[in-house]
Amino acid sequence: ASFGFADVDLGAKQGMVDAVFHKVASRYDLMNDFMSAGLHRVWKDAMVSWLAPPSGRDFEGLDVAGGTGDIAFRIVERSRGRAREIVCDINASMLEVGRERARKRHLDGNVEFIEGNAEELPFASGRFDAYTIAFGIRNVPRIDEALKEAYRVLKPGGRFLCLEFSAVDVPVLDKIYDLYSFHAIPAMGGVVAGDKDSYRYLVESIRRFPHQERFAEMIRRAGFARVEYRNLTGGIAAIHSGWKI
């Protein structure tokens, strides 16, 4: 079966997303390196650099759709162990892989893993210094609800950062990227993860996601100020930033 995402209702979409990540959880990190040729590490580093978590004072961040912990670990490491992070994800299998990784890196004192939905976060209003979400918001059925929740859980003065696949704005690269994503990614997903359909879904969801300017406008509409974005690798990915003031 292939995922016809245009036709499914929002509740069904979440169910499909959950099935994909339950299935790939144990191979997720390996597949990321493989499919992006390690680029996802560079992009994640860029997001955490832009956040610049302070190493001199207490800082509590929330990483939504945080999966196996990549962003949270980087934030804690960059703060020299001062920051605390909560990884919130809807998928227990991804969180379990994350907990194990945190233990191995001796970061389990700073990083907590909590199951929850980005559209209805299980946290009090005004709690966090930063809200991050990497390659996650695209999977959430109601993006506007997730943005509203991001705004709600941040302290005044808190920072919103979102890393997501975006629209390539470089001639020729866009053609190469189309070929790579429509043909190579599902094929590799078939070989390495035995799961061509999940990776076909991945590519389809990237196509449907709003481009840089439109997404910036959605973030403004959720209440954020000073919204701006930076393209990464010619727009294959982009980081959007905003502030709750």
Residues lying near ligand SAM in the complex (CB under 6 A): 14, 17, 21, 64-67, 70-71, 89-91, 94, 117-119, 134-136, 139-140
Nearest distance in Å: CB 104, ligand SAM? 16
Q: Which residues pair with 159 in a beta bridge?
A: 130, 243
| CA gap 130, 136 in Å, rounded | 16
Is 117 a known ligand-binding residue?
yes
Is 139 a known ligand-binding residue?
no
For ligand SAM, the closer CB: 48 or 216: 48
Is 233 a known ligand-binding residue?
no
Nearest distance in Å: CB 119, ligand SAM? 6
Cβ(215)–Cβ(144) below 8 Å: no
For ligand SAM, the closer CB: 202 or 219: 202
- How far is the CA of 169 from the CAs of 23, 38, 183, 184, 233, in angstroms? 33, 21, 20, 20, 10
For ligand SAM, the closer CB: 23 or 220: 23
For ligand SAM, the closer CB: 12 or 225: 12
Nearest distance in Å: CB 56, ligand SAM? 26
Nearest distance in Å: CB 199, ligand SAM? 11
Is 89 a known ligand-binding residue?
yes
Instruction: Return the beta strands (E) in the chain as ranges.
Output: 59-64, 83-89, 111-115, 128-134, 154-165, 225-232, 237-243
For ligand SAM, the closer CB: 14 or 79: 14
| CA gap 29, 209 in Å, rounded | 23
Place of tokens 């020299």: 80
Nearest distance in Å: CB 103, ligand SAM? 18
Residue 5 tokens, joined: 């995402």
For residue 75, which of 52, 92, 95 has the smallest C-alpha distance?
52
- Which single residue brings its beta carbon nearest to ligand SAM? 67
